[in-house]
Amino acid sequence: MVFRSEYPDVPPVDLPIHDAVLGRAAEFGDRPALIDGADGTTVSYRALDHTSRRIAAALAEAGVRKGDVLALHSPNSIAYPQVFYGATRAGAAVTTVHPLATAHEFASQLRDSGAAWIVTVAPLVEVARQAAELAGGVREVFVCDRASGHRSVQDMAASTAPEPVVDIDPGADLAALPYSSGTTGTPKGVMLTHRSIATNLVQQATLVPAEEDDRVLAVLPFFHIYGLTVLMNAPLRHGVPVVVLPRYDLRQMLTAVERYRVTALYVAPPVVLALAKDPAVAGFDLSSLRYVLSAAAPLDAELAAACARRLGVPPLLQAFGMTELSPGSHAVPRYATDVPPGTVGKLMPGTEMRVVAPGGGPDGEPVDLGPGQDGELWIRGPQVMRGYLGRPTDTAATVDADGWLHTGDIGRIDADGWVYVVDRIKELIKYKGYQVAPAELEAVLLGHEAVADAAVIGVPDEAGGELPVAYVVRREGSRITADELIAYVAGRVAPYKKVRRVEFVPAVPRSAAGKLLRRRLREAGAREGSPTSP
Ligand SMILES: CC(C)(COP(=O)(O)OP(=O)(O)OC[C@H]1O[C@@H](n2cnc3c(N)ncnc32)[C@H](O)[C@@H]1OP(=O)(O)O)[C@@H](O)C(=O)NCCC(=O)NCCSC(=O)/C=C/c1ccc(O)cc1
């Protein structure tokens, strides 16, 4: 049984992403496109369009060619979109890098993506240099600000080189190459074409349209597809100013909402928790807010209601998607009334969904379920990724021959077309809306000489959503402590991936073939209530 969107189809947007987003920049002219939420520096639409063209010219002169991959390694800033569209105009695909990635993590991404160019910022330039050295193949490291020995994007924006003429095929050429763990394993490059991202903008805007006088706050990171598309591409396409913050800090966020009269807040559940409960919220004038949308991780319905009540905004909107969906497949319509609590919304236009029984029928064939029944959500539409870069087996395991993306999430649809996500079959841990791949942490733990075996699972946590917890089998004779192992892992991974607790066990569950059975650990934990209490 295939569920179809109730909205009229949208035609695919066959434009390069910079044209899809900045096509009306001249019309928007001097209107602010980007406002630095910390110091108020403003970039107009005209200036954004102009600088992105000049940066493209300078990148082309430096040697960037169509098909190259450029790694963008920076917290949110008003330079970020300028570099992004500059790179795509030069024909490059942008692989976005977490600013807190370790040099090793960054080097893996550089190697895997084949990136030849890096754009970073002065505080991170050392890590970028190390990563480039480890990976090899990087031709130049640029900076958005200033760092000696590196060309600055600020100077490149004044380049007099000719703007490159690049023939982009929107349906085939990649605009972005974010990394996602998908349903299993370690991070993989998600191939998103110009067309998949641009079309998803239209799909999304059908349900959550921008108003002429909206102001969006970009506090979530641009390096994730949520930030890149919903906070950067989407508002800029409609002439809406984006107030940019470098990182999440509750007071700084509230100050920016008050000062710049922000109307739309796009967040993840940990921010909803703070908005609902933190005493600081009461000290700010947040009356400009018209709506709050939460995505990236499951949101508790009562928490959502408490947040809306406190802020005096309509019930919180949710959206659902994943990096592999450019990123959206469902959203609660901005102006809908009578929205049932807890729903992630309705199918976006041009999007189909199946709800499939996990495990399938007797021969493993998919068994479709009807409304009200819980199953794995399968999605098909123009927003589905082209695949994982260089990984045909992983791609085939995620997007089947008929184009259905198997999300790894369990959900259901009700008789009115509202969709709910209730569980997850993929083994990925979601910490504050960030993906943490258990296999990656297990590999780090197994690299320690005192560790004979290890398994990592997520356990529920109010503030983080889920916390990565490790079950470790010590080598005979070893007396290593939990704290020592926690510190060992923390020294080797980005902070959001830290193992938060370690339990020593005699063995971790494995199948006869040696496959780790993480689900067994989770089930054991659920039976005991608190599997990991110290
Ligand atoms: C704003 C959050 C929610 C909370 O921020 P935070 O509490 O400051 O923590 P961080 O997560 O930034 O940092 C992790 C840790 O690193 C630490 N950290 C911080 N900066 C430092 C430092 N410079 N040195 C060292 N340590 C540090 C920080 O203190 C923290 O430590 P700890 O408190 O122990 O966890 C942040 O986690 C966040 O942005 N999460 C969202 C991630 C995200 O965008 N995911 C999207 C994936 S794509 C997706 O789901 C798509 C959805 C979608 C679907 C459909 C649609 O239509 C639209 C969208």
pLDDT tens digits for range 147-201: 999 999 999 999 999 999 999 999 999 999 999 987 777 899 999 999 999 999 9
Q: Do 173 and 193 form a contact (C-beta atoms < 8 A)?
A: yes
Which of 167, 202, 237 is at the close of a domain?
A: 167
Residue nearest to atom 13 of ligand 1 (CA): 496
Neighbours of 27 (CB within 10 A): 10
Angle between the N-to-C axes of helices 45-62 and 79-89, in degrees from 0 to 180, rounded to the nearest 10: 50
* pLDDT for res 497: 96
Please give the full DSSP string across 457-480, using - where no structure is assigned.
EEEEETTTEEEEEEEEEEPTT---
Domain hosting 457: range is: 428-528
Encoded tokens for 258: 């008050």
- pLDDT given for residue 529 in this prediction: 55
Q: How far apart are CA 10 and CA 526, in angstroms?
A: 44
What was the pLDDT predicted at 528? Answer: 67
pLDDT the model gives residue 297: 94
| Residue 94: alpha-carbon gap to chain centroid | 14
Tokens of 22: 């900045």
Q: Whose CA is nearest to atom 50 of ligand 1?
A: 296
Domain end position, chosen among 167, 184, 205? 167
Token readout for 152 is: 């600055």
Last residue of a domain, one of 167, 182, 215: 167
Closest residue by Cα to atom 12, ligand 1, is 248
* Phi, psi (rounded to 5 degrees) for 246: -70, -30
- Does residue 124 form part of some domain? yes
Residue 369 CA to ligand 1 centre (angstroms): 35
pLDDT for 531: 44
- How far is the C-alpha of 230 from the C-alpha of 380, rounded, in Å? 20
Query: Could you tell me if 211 and 129 are in contact, meaning their C-beta atoms sit under 8 angstroms apart?
Result: no
Rounded Cα–Cα distance for residues 73 and 76 (Å)? 10
Give the domain CATH number at 138.
3.40.50.980
In a domain, 341, yes or no: no
Tokens 């972005």 appear where? 176
With b meaning 16 or more CB within 10 Å and e meaning fewer, what string describes 310-348? ebebbbbbbbbbbbbbbbbbbbbebebeebeebbbbbbb
Answer whether residue 56 is part of any domain: yes
d(CA 370, CA 203): 24
Cα of 62 from ligand 1 centre, angstroms: 33
Residue 458 within any structural domain of the chain: yes
CB–CB of 413/3 below 8 Å? yes
Helix/strand/coil for 359: coil
What's the CATH number where 504 sits? 3.30.300.30
Say which residues have a Cβ less than 8 Å from residue 486's Cβ, sequence separation at least 6.
498, 499, 500, 501, 502
Residue matched to tokens 């089930």: 523
Its ipTM equals 0.93
Q: Which DSSP string corresponds to 31-69?
A: SEEEEETTT--EEEHHHHHHHHHHHHHHHHHHT--TT-E
Nearest CA to ligand 1 atom 49: 296
Residue 146 lies in a domain: yes
Q: 267: CA distance to ligand 1 center in Å?
A: 10
Q: How far is the CA of 74 from the centre of ligand 1 (A)?
A: 14
CB atoms within 10 A of CB 41: 12
Residues of the chain with pLDDT under 70: 528-534
SS3 state of residue 99 = coil
Indicate the top mutation candidate among 226, 231, 245, 498 to test ligand 1's pocket, ranked by most ligand atoms within 8 A of CB: 226
Total domain count, the chain: 2
Residue 92 lies in a domain: yes
- Residue matched to tokens 């959203």: 331
Ligand 1, from 299, 383, 432, 461: best to mutate by most atoms within 8 Å of Cβ?
A: 432
Q: Is residue 510 part of a domain?
A: yes
Residues with CB under 6 A from ligand 1: 100, 204, 220-221, 224-227, 230, 248, 268, 270-271, 295-296, 319-323, 327-328, 331, 432-434, 495-496
Q: For residue 326, is it within any domain?
A: no
Coil, strand or helix at 522 = helix
